[in-house]
A and B are shown apart, each in its own frame.
Chain A
Amino acid sequence: MAGKTLYDKLWDDHLVKQRDDGSALIYIDRQLLHEVTSPQAFEGLRLAGRKPWRIDANLATPDHNVPTTDRDKGIDGIVDPVSRTQVETLDKNCDEFGILEFKIKDQRQGIVHVIGPEQGATLPGMSIVCGDSHTSTHGAFGCLAHGIGTSEVEHVLATQCLVQKKMKNMLVKVNGKLGPGVTGKDVVLAIIGKIGTAGGTGYAIEFGGEAIRGLSMEGRMTICNMSIEAGARVGMVAVDDTTIDYVKGRPFSPKGETWDKAVAYWRTLHSDDDAEFDKVVELDGSAIQPQVSWGTSPEMVVGVDGNVPDPEQEDDPIKREGIVRALKYMGLAPNQKITDIKLDRVFIGSCTNSRIEDLREAAAVVKGRKVAASLKQAMVVPGSGLVKAQAEQEGLDKVFVEAGLEWRDPGCSMCLAMNADKLGQGEHCASTSNRNFEGRQGFGGRTHLVSPAMAAAAAVTGHFVDVRDLLN
């Protein structure tokens, strides 16, 4: 019999009951909650007269609607009354049910997918859910992490279980070493470019290979975060020393004998040598260039030295139509050079790229340089209050401000523009976020997905440029 994949092991460890109809009950160790996808779930509990199954499995924070300025004003700083109501509703629900919440003025507040790992609330081997598709981020710790809808948020609150059908196993193996200036973001964009936005649908993806093993936890989180952009609800990386070193000493992490026992278990969280995958995709990591998305789907991506595609060269009529529509929306011409795309704004932040390492990479590029005069705005939004404090301790905030970038308070911000940070119609933005969908960053806005280093390089030149040219 073949060995088990990491996903098989995580599935087996969380299986409460296999039902006759093919569905299964999976136990959930941790649920992260935020203000957008939880109010209707709490309301559902109340209407049915149900209580949360296990209160201490939940951790909440407001992130999508929070402003990134004037944080000292707290909730009063939220100008939009509808946004304010949503944040107040989360506070009320957490208070009523006794759920731990890092409220808007708490230094531990931040984007859910940043604070979970930062607090050690995300531990290897856990099953984690959140009403947010980027919950796959936590798979970087060898977790089984699913993004879920609001009905499932309610289901997990009420039962501590998720009804699931086992997915298929996919291995994405990135061989070789990444070149200098090439990051986890470039790797995941290259993967999505190769397998497509639906390439991982129905699969749990494990990312492996030398290039993945060589990445920090921040880089691995960036990759797992965007699994959903390849269609996979679940993305994972096996546990190794990098994982265990990251987890050690965090507020929720085990200590003493429990730590030793946990580590012994965590060391088993990798696919067995003889495990069989339903699908294997291989990439040469050393050949990956810094990536830039040109279209309105994350699969519409190319190396920075490349060109915008020509729809005439596409054989598949549905894809051709998609390219034509994307070029029209993006205001780009076929065969245009990526480095000729002029930018209006730069956004460094989001659950994909707002951790300390991301900020360090961006700061290293802008240090001693100035934001191009042609830009309307370049902003840096740290992923949490603690990331912000750490960056300030390292002096990164000064580097950004001296270069002319805005240094903001933590939240989801312009990744989805639910707060006041957004693009104007027709504006091009170099963004370290995860989605370049039409209107995602603001009505009529045009998003180009890049790494923090590439966004920083674009900020100081006003157009896309190969960051490696600036680093030399």
Chain B
Amino acid sequence: MRAFTQHKGIVAPMDRSNVDTDMIIPKQFLKSIKRTGFGPNLFDELRYLDEGKPDQDCSQRPINPDFMLNQERYKSSSILLARRNFGCGSSREHAPWALDDFGFRVVIAPSYADIFYNNCFKNGLLPIVLEEEIVDQLFRETEAESGYELSVDLEAKTVTTPSGQSFSFEVDDFRRHCLLNGLDDIGVTLEDADTIRAYEDARRSSAPWLFNAGN
């Protein structure tokens, strides 16, 4: 996995609450058997005026000029600023894959849905939780100034504005450790293979019905 230590980038404002994973990447694009190539269909139904289809050349589609990612100032953004309960709904990991493929490295919101939050960390994408008032302030500053950038430091757990104002955020130690070092967490778990095997053997004798393969 790609490591995440620090990032500085342009902020794009996604100003609505309860953005669900169907909105982040609609179902017709989930038919792909790859992990990449979802970027052009990120927020497909908001970004384009027509109904998107897999394997389409998105540069030929009618775009929705009102959607923020279609505005010149946000086209090269890499930090998504969002509202409450971002990423709710389906467990599809295609949602962080699409954000990543577009070029986002950080999401900032007051809260996230659990599965989406977890999926981000598996893909080198950092979801940051900041208080609603701070998020409000960042929305105001982003909209007021074209090219508005934030600096994120995962080691220090801070988000810093262009004026030097700094906000701390919390993140679980194990998630931070994996992200900072770009660790393959399957490899980390397999270091405990003997412990897993011992647990399994004990369960096989105490609860044999859990190991019934059916008939």
Q: Which residues of A contact B (CB under 8 A)?
A: 16-17, 19, 21-23, 25, 27, 29, 36-37, 39-40, 43, 48, 50, 53-54, 56, 59, 64-65, 80, 82-83, 85-86, 89, 100, 119-121, 123, 125-126, 131-133, 135, 147-152, 154-155, 158-161, 163, 165, 197-198, 201-202, 228, 231-233, 251-254, 258-259, 261-262, 265, 297, 318-319, 321-322, 325, 416-418, 435, 437-440, 443-444
* Contact in complex: B91, A149 (CB < 8 Å): yes
* Contact in complex: B18, A197 (CB < 8 Å): yes
Counted as pairs of residues, one from A and one from B, with CB atoms less than 8 Å apart, the total is 203
Determine if B8 is an interface residue (Cβ-Cβ < 8 Å): no
* Contact in complex: A265, B84 (CB < 8 Å): no
Which residue among B119, B174, B195, B211 has the maximum number of chain A CB atoms within 10 Å of its CB? Answer: B174
Pick the residue among B18, B33, B174 that contacts A21 (CB under 8 A).
B174
Pick the residue among A25, A119, A198 that contacts B214 (CB under 8 A).
A119
* Contact in complex: B174, A56 (CB < 8 Å): no
Determine if B57 is an interface residue (Cβ-Cβ < 8 Å): no
* Contact in complex: B174, A19 (CB < 8 Å): yes
Determine if B5 is an interface residue (Cβ-Cβ < 8 Å): no
Residues of A within 8 A of B115 (CB): 133, 147-149, 228, 233
Residues of A within 8 A of B174 (CB): 19, 21-23, 163, 165
How many chain B residues touch A (Cβ–Cβ < 8 Å)? 63
Pick the residue among B26, B177, B186, B213 that contacts A158 (CB under 8 A).
B186
B74-127, CB < 8 A from A:
83-85, 88-93, 96, 111-115, 118-119, 122-123
* Contact in complex: A159, B189 (CB < 8 Å): yes
Determine if B55 is an interface residue (Cβ-Cβ < 8 Å): yes
* Contact in complex: A123, B213 (CB < 8 Å): no
Residues of A within 8 A of B55 (CB): 82
Q: How far is the CA of A75 from the CA of B189 in the complex (A)?
A: 37
Q: How far is the CA of A416 from the CA of B30 in the complex (A)?
A: 11
Determine if B45 is an interface residue (Cβ-Cβ < 8 Å): yes
Q: Which residues of B contact A (CB under 8 A)?
A: 16-18, 20, 22-23, 26-28, 30-35, 45, 51, 54-55, 83-85, 88-93, 96, 111-115, 118-119, 122-123, 172-174, 177, 184-186, 189-190, 192-193, 195-196, 199-200, 203, 207-215
Residues of A within 8 A of B28 (CB): 418
Which residue among A82, A158, A319 has the maximum number of chain B CB atoms within 10 Å of its CB? Answer: A82
Residues of A within 8 A of B193 (CB): 159
A29 touching B114 in the complex, CB below 8 Å, given contacts A40-B34, A325-B16: no
A161 touching B208 in the complex, CB below 8 Å, given contacts A19-B174, A83-B31: no
* Contact in complex: B31, A262 (CB < 8 Å): no
* Contact in complex: A439, B92 (CB < 8 Å): no
Residues of B within 8 A of A251 (CB): 214-215
Q: How far is the CA of A55 from the CA of B92 in the complex (A)?
A: 23
Q: How far is the CA of A416 from the CA of B190 in the complex (A)?
A: 36
A130 to chain B, nearest CB (A): 8
A440 to chain B, nearest CB (A): 5
Q: How far is the CA of A85 from the CA of B31 in the complex (A)?
A: 8
Show 10 residue pairs from A and B whose CB-CB distance is below 8 angstroms, ordered by the A residue: A16-B195, A48-B184, A120-B214, A133-B89, A149-B91, A201-B112, A258-B209, A418-B28, A437-B22, A438-B22
A126 touching B45 in the complex, CB below 8 Å, given contacts A150-B93, A151-B122, A437-B89: no
A22 touching B173 in the complex, CB below 8 Å, given contacts A231-B85, A435-B20: yes
Residues of B within 8 A of A252 (CB): 212-215
Residues of B within 8 A of A149 (CB): 91-93, 96, 115, 118-119, 122
Residues of A within 8 A of B20 (CB): 297, 435, 437
* Contact in complex: B214, A29 (CB < 8 Å): no
* Contact in complex: B212, A197 (CB < 8 Å): no
A97 to chain B, nearest CB (A): 14
Q: How far is the CA of A150 from the CA of B174 in the complex (A)?
A: 19
* Contact in complex: B31, A80 (CB < 8 Å): yes
* Contact in complex: B51, A443 (CB < 8 Å): yes
* Contact in complex: B111, A198 (CB < 8 Å): yes
Q: How far is the CA of A300 from the CA of B155 in the complex (A)?
A: 40
Which residue among B23, B91, B118 has the maximum number of chain A CB atoms within 10 Å of its CB? Answer: B91
Q: How far is the CA of A36 from the CA of B208 in the complex (A)?
A: 31
Which residue among A17, A89, A120, A150 has the maximum number of chain B CB atoms within 10 Å of its CB? Answer: A150
Which residue among B18, B55, B83, B112 has the maximum number of chain A CB atoms within 10 Å of its CB? Answer: B18
Question: Nearest CB to that of B1 among chain A residues?
Answer: A151
Residues of A within 8 A of B207 (CB): 125, 262, 265
* Contact in complex: B22, A85 (CB < 8 Å): no
A439 touching B22 in the complex, CB below 8 Å, given contacts A147-B115, A201-B85: yes
Q: How far is the CA of A151 from the CA of B209 in the complex (A)?
A: 28
Residues of A within 8 A of B85 (CB): 197-198, 201, 231
B28 to chain A, nearest CB (A): 7
Contacts A40-B35, A297-B20 known; list 11 others, CB within 8 Å.
A21-B173, A39-B33, A50-B186, A126-B210, A149-B122, A151-B119, A231-B114, A262-B209, A322-B17, A435-B22, A439-B22
B16 to chain A, nearest CB (A): 7
* Contact in complex: B192, A16 (CB < 8 Å): yes
Residues of B within 8 A of A160 (CB): 196, 200
A89 touching B91 in the complex, CB below 8 Å, given contacts A17-B195, A149-B118: no
